Structure 1
């Protein structure tokens, strides 16, 4: 029996709450570009995860919720949109032909994130994961071109799929509103203390050079 959207959202939030105690602040250099999945996401707004919540915390929840929407759209497409389904099946078969698929099978906390760090000017990478994946993709024959009529029909079905995704997304957001309190309680318990500790440590490190008993610095010459 197919689970209701309400049940799926509840289970997704439960899974995220089980993961959250393992979250730790990132210690590496952050990316400059915002995450396209999380930036301005109505899902995160419904969950009460604002811009003051670290992206790593946001991403795990938004990805789990996106999976629910994607699954619902896939079911709708298979039943009602034959041309789009055929195109997706061909693309899936093409993807399976690749022996190197680094973006697949990732945990929700990492799914959809860039495969490589931002480039550093003057310090090019010897290779990148994304570059290796693109090289593998270039060796797979492209899908056959569509006629103009087929393209028009496909665009219409894509529009219908988008409309359905928006409808499911609104339903998901409405359900998420009922989970706000326990989401915010978990943030207060597991995330905010770590951020406060980081800020306290940063304050101590900035104040240390000016403390009377601190390191006097370099001797005068």
Structure 2
């Protein structure tokens, strides 16, 4: 597993490095709630992407690495945890019955992010993407109930899956330490100049709040 994980992590970092030159600072209003996938992520700590790095840069890497962990846990579950696998299979069947899946097929840079922007005070949305998806979900029959014994057995298998995920996550973070230098170099090359340019522009705007060419200024 170790060699396989090393290959997968290396490919994930390579893909992120190939994408990073296309990154641009977001111009829309930032979100109030932190990203649950990136906030305090040990994956980002392993490669040195701290709070001073824009979230879009962080999210593209953390999502790719999460996919590796999820894939390993899925393989372990299929081989060792039959009750949990059965539940996942039933949930997958429900998902296939949905006619509207707005969160499916997204690029890694957008996976796991909220589907709708933060609402503006006093300007409610007529509808939201998340709301439309919930309406579709409500029309799909719920999964059959479990007995108390089945629930206890399922909780045990979920605990085993969590333990395995934590083990894989720690191993992935150890592997990522070997990629820290090139991740930091890429941030220095592609991200920091754009942030510096934004700060320079902000400084000029604060020093000259009115356009000298505007006759009404």
CA distance in 1 between counterparts of 2:162 and 2:119 reads: 34
Gaps of 5+ in 1: none
Does the CA-based 8 Å contact 1:209-1:215 persist in structure 2?
no
Aligned counterpart, 1:185: 185
Give the match for residue 55 of structure 1: 55
**1:101 and 2:101 are equivalent in the alignment:** yes
- How far, CA to CA, are the matches of 2:11 and 2:212 in structure 1? 51
Indicate whether 1:4 and 2:4 are aligned.
yes
Equivalent-residue separation in structure 1 for 2:209 and 2:36 (angstroms): 40
Structure 2 partner of 1:30: 30
Distance in 1 between the 2:13 and 2:92 partners? 29
Deviations 1:135-185 (A, max 9, x none): 000000000011111111000000000000000000000000000000000
Distance 1:51 1:18 in 2: 22
State the partner residue of 1:16. 16
Following superposition, the deviation at residue 209 of structure 1 comes to 3.6
Tell me the CA shift for residue 193 of structure 1.
0.1
Secondary structure at the aligned position of 1:49 is classed as: coil
Q: 1:135 — aligned with what?
A: 135
Distance (Å, rounded) in 2 between the aligned partners of 1:71 and 1:84: 15
Work out the CA distance in 2 between the residues paired with 1:103 and 1:186. Answer: 29
In structure 2, C-alpha distance between the alignment counterparts of 1:157 and 1:83, rounded to whole Å: 7
Stretch deviating more after TM superposition (109-118 or 120-129): 120-129
Q: TM-score w.r.t. structure 1 length?
A: 0.94
Structure 2: how far apart are the matches of 1:39 and 1:209? 35
Cα distance in 1, alignment partners of residues 103 and 80 from structure 2: 29
User: Which residue matches 1:82?
Assistant: 82
When the two structures are aligned, how many residues end up with a matched partner?
Answer: 217
Q: 1:126 to 1:181 in 2, by over 3 A?
A: same
Name the larger-Rg structure.
1
- Aligned CA RMSD, in angstroms, stands at 1.8
Separation (CA, whole Å) in 1 of partners of 2:208 and 2:213? 8
Task: Extract unaligned runs of 5+ from structure 2.
Answer: none
Which region of structure 1 is more displaced relative to structure 2, 86-95 or 114-123?
114-123
Query: Per-residue deviation at 1:119?
Result: 1.4
8 Å contact 1:209–1:216 — kept in the other structure? no
